[in-house]
Structure 1
Amino acid sequence: MDIRQLKDNIRSFSLEDGDLGSQGYKRVLLQLFGFTGHGKSSFINSCMYVLEEGENFIEYAEARETLEGYTMIRNAYPLTDQITIVDNRGCSKLNDFERAEVYAQLGNCIPIGQKVDWEKNYSAMMEAIENSELEPNFTDFLVPIFVYRATKMINEMEEVKTFMENCVKMTGIVPIIVIAFKTKGDYLEVEKQFRLMGAETVIAIENYTTESKIKTLGRTTDILMVIDSALRNVRFHLEQPRNPRRERIERKKFMYNYIHQIHLHQEREKHEKEKSEREKEKKKQEEERKGICTLL
């Protein structure tokens, strides 16, 4: 498929195209996730750039090519009238509640435009989920996209694999994998790792930037292919009967159960720690008594 066809497919995409129509969806939400500094914001800028004519590159999403990351707010960027791409907050290393926040973003439990704070306890996380029901969003068709830079081997394989599996549970879609910084690392090895974790679509790209904005056939095609792959997923799933309201309820159930399991895990760890400290204190006291007896 050439660039013109890819652009036409994206620009003309409509949720009403299938035999069953939109089934209540109003927008496709391309949900970007990944670790901090792996190129999510740059990918958004690249998507906007390849769909526009000319060489006028605009940095819509502020990007930094560092591992510290920059995005703190869930920002959305319309690609067409029916397709929006979302820059979700990334993580450097996830703890339990940070993982829950990632899934809360994926499930639209955190409104677009809102700052994403890493909640640190059960009550705060549950309150955030409840507050999301004040203005429930069930009309977005969610497509997860995971961005990972080719310059890093995957050290968090179990963590990433679990994320991919939970994406399927929440959206029904296996995340599309975007390997960024294609020319700066061994992207073939990274792709192999993702394939072994169950990835179905893996596309390596080189983002456009203010310093590197001359459009080329290969770079433009790769970026357009990511969007096109997401839309093919949407078309496939809209061939089956769906219920957006029911799906949101199921995502909410997933979040409640996930947060509850985190809470139970932390309570067990707390109990084990307290038990260990009591045993250490008891042993210390016994040794002190033995020492006194020896002196006597």
Structure 2
Amino acid sequence: MECEQLRDIVQNFRVHPQSAQGYNRVLLQLFGYLGHGKSSFINSCKFVLDGEYKIIAEAGIKDGGLTMERKSYRVTDSITLVDNRGFGFMNDFEKIEVCAQLGNFLPLDETVVWREDFGDIVARIEDADMDPNYSDYTVPVFIYSVQKMIHTEEEYEVKRFLKVCQEMTGIVPIVVLTHKTSGNYIAMEQKFKCLGAEVVIGVENYTSDDHRKTRGKHMGILNILKNALEDVQFHVNCYRDLRRERIERKKFLLRMVHDSVTAKKQKEDMEREEASRRPHHRYSVLFGLHERHSGKGQPTSQRLETEPKSTCEIL
């Protein structure tokens, strides 16, 4: 398919009214670690569809990342890109925030704060039910840079994230590998497929320093959007009980909150218990009790003067 034809398909996409089930917008929710190119991907999408390069999403600096809020960017009448706050260490409370975003329990265009208070988290989830969102169809997109070789300790987290995305949206995330020509793309593609990804697409984002149009870059971006829309069309053609699905997502999210808060409390209790023992150890070392009872410690010349000397030493 030629580039222009593919762009027309994306720009003219509409969910058929008879099968829409109340949906009128597709949310492509972008997730990923800090500094892997989510904002640059948004700028590239707008460039490919509009024909003029503009920086609408500010890209991260080095590894720090700049996105601190869940910002939305309308790219067509039916498609909105959402630049979610980048992951840090992907602890339990970041996972909760991500799940809440995937389930449309959090509003767009608000600052994202990783909360660890049980009451605050539950209150935000409950508030979402005052005006539930049934009109947005979420498609998760996971952004990862080929320049950053995935570490072994990250593999479990990524695999779990892909699974949670499917549980919360019904769709396996599209994996977008940025900086395609700056690393071992083939190895990275295979790695993500082994972790559960069904669709992995490599791209080179357009940037302020290099936005000369190329067919390869255009086709890469358009193929990602096309795959996302095909997922939506496939799923909306099947009947879905949206209210029941939202209830199940909420139950899943609340269980995650409960488990995470419980684990955090248990860890804090263990740390307090361990800290309460430390002063006794310090006092025993201070008064030389530890060395006397263990038979170990500093050389005789450095021991405390109160320690009894042997008969040989006295003579």
In the superposition, the TM-score normalised over structure 2's length comes to: 0.85
Asked if structure 2 preserves the Cα contact closer than 8 Å seen for 1:76 and 1:84, the reply is yes
Q: Do residues 104 (structure 1) and 103 (structure 2) align?
A: no
Match of 1:138 among 129, 134, 139: 134
Which residue in 2 is equivalent to 1:189?
A: 187
Which residue in 1 is equivalent to 2:78?
A: 82
Which residue in 2 is equivalent to 1:125?
A: 121
Which residue in 2 is equivalent to 1:207?
A: 205
Change (3 A) 1:65 1:274: closer
**C-alpha distance in 2 between matches for 1:289 and 1:267:** 35
**C-alpha distance in 2 between matches for 1:203 and 1:65:** 24
| Aligned-pair identity (%) | 42
Aligned-partner residue type, residue 194 of structure 1: F
Unaligned runs of 5+ in 1: none
Deviation at 1:162, TM superposition (A): 0.7
What do residues 64-119 of structure 1 show as CA deviations (whole Å, max 9, x unaligned)? 35210011121111121111111111122222212211222222222111111111
Asked if structure 1 preserves the Cα contact closer than 8 Å seen for 2:60 and 2:67, the reply is no
Which residue in 2 is equivalent to 1:10?
A: 10
**C-alpha distance in 1 between matches for 2:269 and 2:104:** 34
Residue range with higher mean Cα deviation, 149-158 or 59-68? 59-68
What do residues 170-195 of structure 1 show as CA deviations (whole Å, max 9, x unaligned)? 00111000001112222222111111
Asked if structure 2 preserves the Cα contact closer than 8 Å seen for 1:25 and 1:244, the reply is no
**C-alpha distance in 2 between matches for 1:59 and 1:289:** 66
Match of 2:20 among 9, 13, 22: 22
Deviation at 1:271, TM superposition (A): 3.0
Return the index of the structure with the highest Cα Rg. Answer: 2
What do residues 20-64 of structure 1 show as CA deviations (whole Å, max 9, x unaligned)? 5101111111000001111001101111111123xx311111113
Question: How do 1:141-180 and structure 2 match up within 5 A?
Answer: 141-155=137-151, 156-180=154-178
User: Aligned Cα RMSD in Å?
Assistant: 2.4
In the superposition, the TM-score normalised over structure 1's length comes to: 0.90
Aligned length: 292
Deviation at 1:253, TM superposition (A): 1.6
Aligned-partner residue type, residue 122 of structure 1: F
Asked if structure 2 preserves the Cα contact closer than 8 Å seen for 1:180 and 1:204, the reply is yes
Residue range with higher mean Cα deviation, 185-194 or 215-224? 185-194
Question: How do 1:13-92 and structure 2 match up within 5 A?
Answer: 13-16=13-16, 21-53=19-51, 56-92=52-88
**C-alpha distance in 1 between matches for 2:49 and 2:194:** 32
Asked if structure 2 preserves the Cα contact closer than 8 Å seen for 1:39 and 1:65, the reply is no
Residue range with higher mean Cα deviation, 286-295 or 262-271? 286-295
Asked if structure 2 preserves the Cα contact closer than 8 Å seen for 1:69 and 1:90, the reply is yes
Asked if structure 2 preserves the Cα contact closer than 8 Å seen for 1:67 and 1:92, the reply is no
What do residues 105-153 of structure 1 show as CA deviations (whole Å, max 9, x unaligned)? 2222221111111113222222222222232212111100000001011
